[in-house]
Amino acid sequence: MSAKARSSAGRRLRPIPDRLVVLTFDDGCKSDAAFVAPLLEHCGFGATFFVNDASGIRDSRAAANYVTWDEVRGIHEAGFEIGNHTRSHPSVEGLSGDQFRLELEFIKQRCVEHGIPAPRTFCYPGFYFCRSAVEVLAEKGYIFARRGVFPEFHYDTEGGRGPAYDPAVDHPLLIPTTGFSGPHWGLDDLAWAIEQAAGGRIAVLCFHGVPDLDHPWVHTDPETFRKYVDFLRDSRCTVIAMRDLAQYVDPSAGPCDPIGAIERKQKCKQRT
């Protein structure tokens, strides 16, 4: 049996089906608990909700636009994954290793305090990543992490397309975003993202608030989101949380040089 057919523990992996979609939500907007999670639960979809805790907003009654930690626990109890998005949402490029560890540890401890499993997946704030952050995530036992659309695609801060995740090429701690919602991203872009999920590649989607009242550049209208969910269902997509990638991908089998893998993809794209 080939190495791709087994995980590092010898467990057989599932074949990657076409139209496999990883659904993720960033920043812990109030709509995650009030609207998104109930809708996805009704549809039988999986999803990962990446939470941060900038300035302690999850414990502040004034933070009406964000979920409380009790609501985060409710999302977990509904069967969804809670991922780590750092405490204060900094760019990891500007952090020392120790600073990044503290950011990760804060969210881990808050999860544990509220009866939520310690996160094993991560999302880079602002989509920015660096080699040292990958090394810290590996040290801390994270198995998957989502970055943004660049450098392979232009980064439009109001929504856009990106590369599909190819486990044969991409490092599991630098999984690209295939599409992220905003005013410049719509149903045609969602259809395009699903088309990329074929031949062993996986579409990874990023949403923020539905609605996101504090960040209109990544806002998604609730009725528009319903259309996206209907499209995923009608397209017979398999919609999972990021942790569920472990059923299909061995997280220990990524390239030895995570940044080099991205650079090689860039060179191939430039030649074509």
From CA 7, how far away is CA 245, in angstroms rounded? 12
- Residues of the chain with confidence (pLDDT) below 50: 1-9, 62
The pLDDT of residue 151: 94
The pLDDT of residue 173: 98
- The percent helix, strand, coil of the chain (3-state, each to 5) is 40, 15, 45
Going along the chain from its start, the domains and CATH numbers come out as 15-271 (3.20.20.370)
From CA 21, how far away is CA 199, in angstroms rounded? 13
Q: What is the pLDDT of residues 226-265, one digit of tens each?
A: 999 999 999 999 999 999 999 999 999 888 888 887 877 7
The pLDDT of residue 263: 79
pTM of the model: 0.93
Q: Residues near 223 by Cβ (< 8 Å), separated by ≥ 6?
A: none
Sheet strands (E) in 102-255: 121-123, 144-146, 160-161, 179-180, 203-207, 238-240
Q: Are 203 and 196 in contact (CB under 8 A)?
A: yes
